[in-house]
Structure 1
């Protein structure tokens, strides 16, 4: 896919961070322990991960991976433990401090869009918080995911064999039975997140959801 310029990515990322920061201001203490869409993490963990990611530089990422034995999961766990505070309100305050940062690991800038949208929903959906994401920008994140292997954090294998069509953006990918849905639902699906079957339509939707569930 076409490389995205920083000027088209960071304003969106910063906007998504600000929106999430505002949404989380009203959480009750017990809500922070709500399981997220990310297996093994509650919403507090996901927020800590977003802080850790926002503070990660290219050189810092390399150093961290060496320290973690090139184990992504181990590195993520260390990062969450480092940024998660005993009081969730303090973690949220730390998130507020990283809102304008433009640090990034050594990966395509599109991953910053993927992270913002997917982790935003990892937190919001279990809490019942709705957000209307910018569909065109979500489609850019989706285009990256369907062309990137699972080993590299993408969803190419999950998208293979289907014709994915965004109902709210200019996005069509692949061939096979058609699956139609909002760009955010398709992005979550190819990113390994559970989606409500009612969010997807088309002759391939049923089998697509069943394969994801398997």
Structure 2
């Protein structure tokens, strides 16, 4: 994984730009489709990404305190701040933060992960075949496999051997779970849909853990 924050931010910026290009010609109906991110629509996930790239440490802490450490409420408030009057305005706000290096903490790989994961939360329901680069997905996969941060990714994959079919990412020992780097990353992030893209004797265990976490 790149150990330079500069390299990680460059990848995040490139992934934001690629996502903005993918969304340039969506219809209103497409903007309001459900995403893979809970109850949020495609437009709401994009507004969340804008909020994440616009919220530094002090503003994040103030918002969390105001929400009494209810992170769902915190995220909903920040998302609402970035929703435009129209989807085109929401996209314009996202496009404006493409070069941002603002974040709530110094865990740069996690903020790359925000872009990588939520981009697929948007693309998959829309049937878009674009995906993050293997390099970007690998950086996020290695971060997710190494710790529980905003999602219990390390706990979720304990006792399993993860092996990417399209890149260098491997982690752990135990029953094999194999697939593309982005499929492994999305499964670690708790996206059950991506288990369909994985193979190996460990997939059933991983699927069960994701399902249990969601209940």
**TM-score, normalised to structure 1's length?**
0.92
Q: CA shift at 1:201, angstroms?
A: 1.4
Paired with 1:154 and 1:59, the residues of 2 have a C-alpha distance of: 25
1:74 aligns with 2:73: yes
Q: CA shift at 1:83, angstroms?
A: 0.9
Number of residue pairs aligned between Structure 1 and Structure 2? 212
Give the conservation status (yes or no) of the 8 Å contact 1:147–1:154: no
1:48 aligns with 2:47: yes
1:100 aligns with 2:109: no
Alignment of 1:116-155 (within 5 A): 116-149=115-148, 152-155=150-153
Paired with 1:18 and 1:37, the residues of 2 have a C-alpha distance of: 20
5+ residue gaps, structure 1, are none
Runs of 4+ in 1 over 6 A off after TM superposition: none
* CA displacement, residues 80-111 of structure 1 (integer Å, 9 cap, x when unaligned): 11111231111111111111111011141111
Give the conservation status (yes or no) of the 8 Å contact 1:146–1:154: no
Gap change, CA 1:196 and 1:13, over 3 Å in 2: closer
Name the structure 1 match of 2:59.
60
> SS of 2:61's equivalent?
helix
Paired with 1:107 and 1:192, the residues of 2 have a C-alpha distance of: 23
Name the structure 2 match of 1:194.
192
**TM-score, normalised to structure 2's length?**
0.92
Paired with 1:101 and 1:209, the residues of 2 have a C-alpha distance of: 35
Give the conservation status (yes or no) of the 8 Å contact 2:159–2:174: yes
Give the conservation status (yes or no) of the 8 Å contact 1:55–1:101: yes
Name the structure 2 match of 1:29.
28
Paired with 1:138 and 1:165, the residues of 2 have a C-alpha distance of: 13
5+ residue gaps, structure 2, are none
Q: CA shift at 1:209, angstroms?
A: 2.6
Gap change, CA 1:171 and 1:196, over 3 Å in 2: closer
| Deviating more after overlay: 133-142 vs 40-49 | 133-142
Name the structure 2 match of 1:209.
207
Paired with 1:39 and 1:132, the residues of 2 have a C-alpha distance of: 20
- Give 2:173's match in structure 1, choosing from 172, 175, 179: 175
Give the conservation status (yes or no) of the 8 Å contact 1:185–1:195: no
Paired with 2:125 and 2:80, the residues of 1 have a C-alpha distance of: 22
Paired with 1:196 and 1:109, the residues of 2 have a C-alpha distance of: 24
* CA displacement, residues 20-60 of structure 1 (integer Å, 9 cap, x when unaligned): 11111110011111100001101011001011011011221
